[in-house]
Amino acid sequence: MLEEATYVLTKAGVQDANDLLKEYREKMIRPIERMNFTAEYTNFYRNVSVQHIQVLRNIYEKEIYLFGYPDTPYVDFSYS
C-alpha cells in the first residue's frame, strides 16, 4: 500500500511523498505494532467451529469472490 500511496501522492504533486508517508506512519503506529508481533492468521481460527466458519464464509462471500481469496480462508488444511 505504501507504494500505491506514494505513487498517487507523487502524481498529485507532493514532494518526498514516500518520506512523508513513513513519517506519518511512525506517528500513528500503535504500541502493539511496534512489537512486531506476527502470528499465522490460521492460529486465530484454529478453535473456531465449522458452523462459525460457515457464518464467516457467508458474511465475506462477496469479498472472497471479488478478491480471489481461497474458498476456505479460515482453515489451514495442514491442521485439519
Residue pLDDT, tens place only, 4-15: 888 999 999 999
Mean pLDDT, residues 33-58: 77
**Range list of H helices, the chain:** 2-11, 17-28, 31-34, 41-45, 50-59, 61-66
* Amino acid at position 6, single letter: T
CA distances in angstroms from 28 to 3, 32, 52, 68, listed in the order given = 18, 12, 33, 30
pTM of this prediction? 0.41
pLDDT beyond 80 at 73 = no
Q: How far apart are the first and last CA of the chain?
A: 33
Range with the poorest average pLDDT among 29-33, 47-51, 73-77: 73-77
Mean pLDDT, residues 69-79: 61
Domain boundaries, the chain: 2-34, 41-75
